Structure 1
């Protein structure tokens, strides 16, 4: 780990280190150590996100600027109620590059933190978490977002033929998750319909009505006998 070749001018420019070359107080010791080992620093503000990573033996700073369709404060607040989905554009890339990402933000009640998942990189984990919630509405929302991403990638294959292989790989991942979710959704709908059918069968079962009528007739006879006994006692 080399710290002698740090690009100090750039690090100062983005507020990662101070004028005296000390690291920003916003970073703790663990953050600094990870950053020097190649981990990425992420800075969020409103709809904007910037990521910083040291490369080439800590001699260069890789900076990526992203722009979301929602404010980070809005995402964090609303994620407490349901899963938040965002579309993110990598504004550091040129128009000739694929610069789109789709993310899901899920509130973890155990840690009381919001966790971010990428639709491509964290596909299987994301699907498993949402399916485990057993919430039909959430599952359908996720299915809709997968379908949007699937359509987007299909369009991009024609737009970026030189990246067709990479985009196709991403498309295959999304298609697989969509099929998985569609299968889960179909099973849930079938199960719900069967439960409703069982209820209807019970209600419309002729034996149920016959038993009910028989019980009512027996109760009526018992009541008549009681009335007759009561009248006879009065005499």
Structure 2
């Protein structure tokens, strides 16, 4: 092996190398070379994903386990009907298991390309909010706001735990992003509700001034008056 400082015990634990210190046959020569250069090895299994990456001059192994709330095929299928949201829990060998990280994603189907685009709630917040606003759908905007509130609550709960300062700082920064975006979305919802109310009022006004409806109403009133007159004559 080229690097004698590799964390062999951990590499054996995860099956990346065998007892003879040779890399798994599941890895190609290119995979191994990239791995030694700092690239991550990714292993997917339905809802789960694991990434392995060498750090600190290849002396330590960074391991991250991701658990989706839904399988990727299910997410892609659902996204063809409406915007699909998914939570990904992240467990790291650098953090206690009771303090996982959470990634929230939005999957949006592009009718023109026939492809599904993935948006992260932190990295693509502004872009995602703009897409939702362009839909001009209060129900969809409300769904988005609820997902933002869930993420905010998760972050607030995590900040109450004892975290390393650098991690707490990162979460606080993300929390500020989400809190700001919730305010933006609430403003969008207010405008959408106002526009909807104005449209309803406009529809009512159009109905009142509709000449056809006015003539129909007069005709019905005249018919009722004739009917009442006929009844009075009959009683005589």
TM exceeding 0.5: yes
Q: 1:136 pairs with 127, 135, 138, which one?
A: 138
2:148 aligns to what? 146
Pick closer, same or farther for the CA change 1:136–1:34 going to 2, 3 Å: farther
In structure 2, the residue corresponding to 1:159 is in which secondary structure?
coil
In structure 2, the residue corresponding to 1:117 is in which secondary structure?
strand
Q: What is the rounded CA distance, in whole Å, between the counterparts of 2:202 and 2:127 in structure 1?
A: 35
Pick closer, same or farther for the CA change 1:43–1:161 going to 2, 3 Å: closer
Which runs of 5 or more structure 2 residues have no equivalent in the other structure?
Answer: 18-22, 220-236
Q: What is the rounded CA distance, in whole Å, between the counterparts of 1:23 and 1:91 in structure 2?
A: 28
Contact kept, 8 Å, 2:91 with 2:100, in 1: the verdict is no
1:200 aligns to what? 204
Pick closer, same or farther for the CA change 1:75–1:204 going to 2, 3 Å: same
Q: What is the rounded CA distance, in whole Å, between the counterparts of 1:45 and 1:96 in structure 2?
A: 22
Q: What is the rounded CA distance, in whole Å, between the counterparts of 2:58 and 2:163 in structure 1?
A: 34
TM-score (norm 2): 0.68
Mapped pair 1:19 → 2:21? no
Contact kept, 8 Å, 2:43 with 2:51, in 1: the verdict is yes
Please state how far the C-alpha of 1:81 moved relative to its aligned partner: 1.6
Q: What is the rounded CA distance, in whole Å, between the counterparts of 1:196 and 1:202 in structure 2?
A: 10
Please state how far the C-alpha of 1:160 moved relative to its aligned partner: 3.4
2:179 aligns to what? 175
Q: What does 1:30-45 correspond to in 2, within 5 Å?
A: 38-45=38-45
In structure 1, the residue corresponding to 2:160 is in which secondary structure?
helix
Contact kept, 8 Å, 1:8 with 1:21, in 2: the verdict is no
Pick closer, same or farther for the CA change 1:108–1:209 going to 2, 3 Å: closer
Q: 2:108 pairs with 106, 109, 112, which one?
A: 106
In structure 2, the residue corresponding to 1:19 is in which secondary structure?
coil
Mapped pair 1:190 → 2:188? no
Contact kept, 8 Å, 2:16 with 2:24, in 1: the verdict is no
Pick closer, same or farther for the CA change 1:18–1:158 going to 2, 3 Å: closer
Q: Between 196-205 and 176-185, report the one with greater CA deviation.
A: 196-205
1:224 aligns to what? none
In structure 2, the residue corresponding to 1:196 is in which secondary structure?
helix
Pick closer, same or farther for the CA change 1:69–1:211 going to 2, 3 Å: closer
2:230 aligns to what? none
Pick closer, same or farther for the CA change 1:126–1:209 going to 2, 3 Å: closer
Q: CA RMSD in A?
A: 3.9
TM-score (norm 1): 0.68
Q: What is the rounded CA distance, in whole Å, between the counterparts of 1:42 and 1:80 in structure 2?
A: 27
Q: How many residues align?
A: 207
